[in-house]
Amino acid sequence: MSDHDFEKQVQVRLEQLKLRPSDAVWTEVEKNIRRDKRRRRMILWLPIALLMLGAGGYFAMTQSSGPATQDLVKQAVPSSSATPNNKLSTKGSTQTQANTDSPINEPVTASKATTGETTPTPDPSHNSHAAAGQQPATQSAANPSVKSKDLNTENKLPAPALAKQPIKKPARIKQQPSAVPLAVKHKPATPVQEPVVNKEQNTDIETITGNDTRQPVEDSTAMATIVPAADSSLAQVIPVDSLAKDSTATIAALPATPATVVKAKQPEKKKGASKWQFGVQAEGGYSGVTEEGLFGFLKSGNSPVADLASPNFNNAISMAPQFPRPVNKASSLSMGPAYSIGGFARRTLSKRLSLSVGLQYTYLSARQVVGTKVNNNRTVNRAPSTSQLVSSYYDANNTQEYTNRYHFIELPVTLHTQLNKGKRLPITWDAGFSVSKLLNTNALHYDGLGGVYYKDNTLFNKVQWVAATGFNVQLFSQSAHPLSIGPVMRYNISPLLQKEYSTGQHLWSVGLRATVLLKK
């Protein structure tokens, strides 16, 4: 076989060989594709973000430059665009012309007649306040005592140059007039003032008296609203047109007193009371063991310890017992101390109903009389057919008192119902149930055939259901931590022993419960 044939065969075999990638390879390929797509998305989002950033900067610069433009419009207003509000109308037939020494004299005709009384000179004390509150277009009125004639003489601008300036109309800006009190001093001989309000601009106010002679003010650089300063018998007139400003004329006005704005205090919205309440509770009383139902404990001497070795006489076999029967029966059980302590969370369902869930530790006990403890091995009978070897036991000589102790951990669920409508002293009925887990006990069982007491914790029910009810009265209900106190009773529905060894014994307790709310 030649080398070429061998190579051809190898090539044919390689072409026939088909390799299928594993799932891990496809997973890596998919991750790489998604990574590339994410990079492309980032590249697309970057120009859009830059465009939005530039647009936001442009709008911010536009908004910030708005007030400066309005100030320039206010300052550069020629005298030729003066509105009728800049001309003072007076009552009378005579007209006077002021500032005759000024290089530019533009007589202004008055539309109202005057009675011959001349306009008093503005008070310099008021001019200083008025000039301090305004910004003139060309120069500030630093010296309020300079007369209008001197001010017009200092104006060196030629008339032709001012005539060629373009006429710009002032921008109308709605501004609220500053609240300045009017100082009015009444005189018996002074006639009643009649304010005349111009319809074109409601912000300009003119005060016309019976004898008043107004002089028109001429200014070649800016408009000005001149309000004459009246004597002590006349009311002071306050200029309210914020657009008209004059760099050379002094305006008589009272000093502006800043208005004090008192914001009404809004009533604070009280947060709604939380429907959840947390607290702790404690119980104290007595407990016992009963065989004849819920009220079997009322009968005296009716709660003996369980005799698990009692024979069944229906199926009794005639044979001698292993141990002789004791003469005395098992001693009766008496009540012992009981208590519980725990916490709970309560939720309000309505005005009179609430539900609580808690966690608590419960201790129950019962007392009986037994004999001496013997630490020897002995076989005891748990039932007629079963027996058990124990390492220690108590005889039945009845020489000492023994306490059977039961330790439980419980999850109670209780429904609370308020019986009355009173808020100062509410009375509540509590009813509920709990799941109880037996943690430990030292209770004794009785061997009726051997006449001895012994321990065997495997015979008890580890999980028991408990029903509880009671009443309580809430004290200090208006305080942050109200206290509730009242009687309570509980009964273990489940039998104390397992079903195979049960003799109908049930635990019960009665006592007093106290509850304190930590968060009302």
Quick one: what percent of the chain has pLDDT higher than 90?
A: 29
Q: Is the pLDDT of residue 486 over 70?
A: yes
d(CA 386, CA 339): 36
Q: Which of 5-14, 103-112, 280-289, 405-414 has the lowest mean pLDDT?
A: 103-112
Residue 457 tokens read as 């914790």
Q: What is the DSSP string of 458-488?
A: GGB-SEEEEEEEEEEEEESTTSSS-EEEEEE
Q: Any residues with CB less than 8 A from the CB of 514 and at least 6 apart, and which?
A: 281, 282, 283, 483, 484, 485
- Architecture (CATH level 2) of domain 276-519: Beta Barrel (2.40)
Mean pLDDT lowest among 230-234, 275-279, 450-454, 497-501: 230-234
pLDDT of residue 146 exceeding 60: no
- The Cα 401–Cα 394 span in angstroms is 11
**Strand pairing of 463-475 and 427-441?**
antiparallel
CA 431-437-442 angle, to 5 degrees, is: 120
Work out the pLDDT band at 449, boundaries 50, 70, 90.
Answer: confident
In sequence order, what DSSP letters do the residues of 186-209 get, joined into one string?
Answer: --TTSPPPEEEE-SS-TT-EEEE-
Host H or E run for residue 218: none
Mean pLDDT of 451-456: 92
Q: Are strands 334-348 and 353-370 parallel, antiparallel or unpaired?
A: antiparallel
Q: Is the pLDDT of residue 205 over 50?
A: no
**pLDDT given for residue 10 in this prediction:** 86
For 309, 325, 379, 396, the CA distances from 449, given in Å and listed in that order, are: 6, 5, 11, 12
Helix, strand, coil % in the chain, rounded to nearest 5: 20, 30, 50
Q: pLDDT digit string (tens) for 353-398?
A: 999 999 999 999 999 999 999 999 999 888 667 888 999 999 988 8
Segment 86-133, tens digit of pLDDT: 444 444 444 444 444 444 444 434 344 334 444 444 454 444 444 344
Break the chain into its structural domains and give their ranges. 79-255, 276-519
CA–CA dist 465, 172 (Å, integer):
85
Q: Name which of 248-257, 401-410, 416-425, 482-491 the model is least confident about.
A: 248-257
Structure confidence by residue, pLDDT tens digits, 67-91: 555 554 455 444 444 444 444 444 4
Exposure on the CB side of residue 136, measured as CA atoms within 13 A: 17
Left (φ > 0), alpha (ψ -120 to 50) or beta: where does 301 sit? left
3-state secondary structure of 431: strand
Work out the average pLDDT over 193-221.
Answer: 46
What average pLDDT does the segment 437-464 reach? 92
Mean pLDDT across the chain: 69
DSSP 314: G
Q: In Å, how far from its chain's centre is CA 303?
A: 58
Quick one: average pLDDT of 491-512?
90
The maximal CA–CA distance of the chain, rounded, in angstroms, is: 155
Percent of the chain with pLDDT over 70: 51
The residues with which 488 forms a beta bridge, in sequence order, are: 470, 511
